[in-house]
Amino acid sequence: MGEAEKTLYGFPLKWVSLVTLVVQNSALALVMSYSRKAKPPNELSYLVSTAVVMSEFIKLVICFAVYAKEEQALGRLSLQKVLKDLFGRDSHWKKMTVPAVLYFIQNNLQYVAVQYLDPATFQVTYQMKILTTALFSVLMLGRTLSRRKWTSLVLLTLGIALVQMDGKTTEAKSSGMQQFLGLLAVTIACVLSGLAGVWFEKVLKGTQASLFLRNIQLSVFSLIPGLIFGVCLMDGAAVRQDGFFQGYNKWTWGAISCQAIGGLIVALVVKYADNILKGFATSLSIILSSIASIFLFDFKITFLFTVGAGIVLYATHLYGLPDSVPEPKRHNSDTS
């Protein structure tokens, strides 16, 4: 059975992973934003560098547990095997250093962005990664997108912008400089997201190693710059003075868990679906979180929201339609 057809309790894994991503993404922006902004007065803020490292560490532990279980079931778990799989000649570990470092920077920028932007603006501008991902898919995977698919990508971006423009009016405005810094952080994060995602997909689908092994490599190579540059060089003095876990509360752990769980789901989506479909799933999550806000925060559905949501749903439908003209031959590693 091909990877794309695998099932969980009878449901195709492709759709299970996409739906889970929609739900996870709905929570991420809100929890992360809240964790940066809502802290009791006179309390220290937590250090972003430690949060990024903790989330990478959680992913590493989970992925290692799954990998070890798989290897143990095959009766071949040993330290030698682990080292060979991770760093041996055929492990392709060097290729994994690139997305690891890109994701490390992107994960830090996400916190910068939510600090300066309101959650709604953050969510919409962050959707630009759908376009950067499509662009890198074309450039690096040799994927060709029909005109219909490009149209649906543009429509998607437009729809999301309308939905978000609507919600933004209720949020407090940040200063011009803060807005600029936030938008700059988001823009760079989108470019890194597209490049790292497509690079990871290419290595994953073009080589034999399991998803969990690849993610162990990813976490290891993100943890190294995270600890050296983030925790030691950037925040070394603060960590020595008030400790690694300064300013942590339940919201900090919520943001860390959301980022870690999100990373794992993204990995599954890229394996069982693809990077562009991932973008559509996260867009749907914006609508889902807005609908949840009706019940949670008395959010009012307006004309602009309805039009935007309609365009997003239509774009998603359009993207899913089969192309009438067969697509030209794809790159070997592109199996989706």
Footprint of ligand C5P (CB under 6 A): 59, 103, 107, 129, 193, 197, 200, 215, 218, 259, 262-263, 266-267
User: Which residue's CB is nearer to ligand C5P, number 47 or number 190?
Assistant: 190
Looking at the Cβ atoms of 191 and 307, the one nearer to ligand C5P is 191
Residue found under tokens 């809502």: 38
Rounded to whole angstroms, the Cα distance separating 144 from 141 reads 9
Cβ closest to ligand C5P, residue 128 vs residue 309: 128
Q: Angle of helix 176-206 relative to helix 275-297, nearest 10 degrees? A: 140
Q: Work out how close the CB of 189 gets to ligand C5P at its nearest, in angstroms, rounded to a whole number.
A: 7
Cα distance from N-terminal residue to C-terminal residue, the chain: 14
Shortest Å distance, C-beta 289 to ligand C5P: 15
Q: How far is the CB of 28 from ligand C5P (least distance, A)?
A: 9
Tell me the pairing of strands 11-12 and 7-8.
antiparallel
Of 129 and 149, the one with the shorter C-beta distance to ligand C5P is 129
Choice between 209 and 266, CB closer to ligand C5P: 266
Instruction: Give the sign of the dihedral formed by CA 319, CA 322, CA 328, CA 329.
Output: positive
Rounded least distance, CB 329 to ligand C5P, Å:
27
Query: Nearer to ligand C5P by C-beta: 259 or 305?
Result: 259
Taking the least distance from each CB to ligand C5P, the nearer of 27 and 267 is 267
- Considering the complex, what minimum distance in angstroms separates the CB of residue 294 from ligand C5P? 26
CB of 262 to ligand C5P, least distance (A): 6
DSSP secondary structure string, 233-280?
IITHHHHHHH-TTTT--HHHHHHHHHHHHHHHHHHHHHHHS-HHHHHH
Nearer to ligand C5P, 262 or 308 (CB): 262
Per DSSP, the three-state class of 178 is: helix
- DSSP strands (E only) in the chain: 7-8, 11-12
List all residues 6 or more positions away from 30 whose beta carbon is below 8 Å from its beta carbon: 119, 289
Query: What is the b/e burial string over 300-324, where b = at least 16 CB atoms within 10 angstroms of the residue's CB?
Result: eeeeebeebbebbeebbeebeeeee
SS3 label, residue 108: helix
Least Å from the CB of residue 270 to ligand C5P? 6
Q: Which residue's Cβ lies closest to ligand C5P? A: 263
How near is the Cβ of 3 to ligand C5P at its closest, in Å? 14
Q: What CA–CA distance (Å, rounded) separates 321 from 218?
A: 34
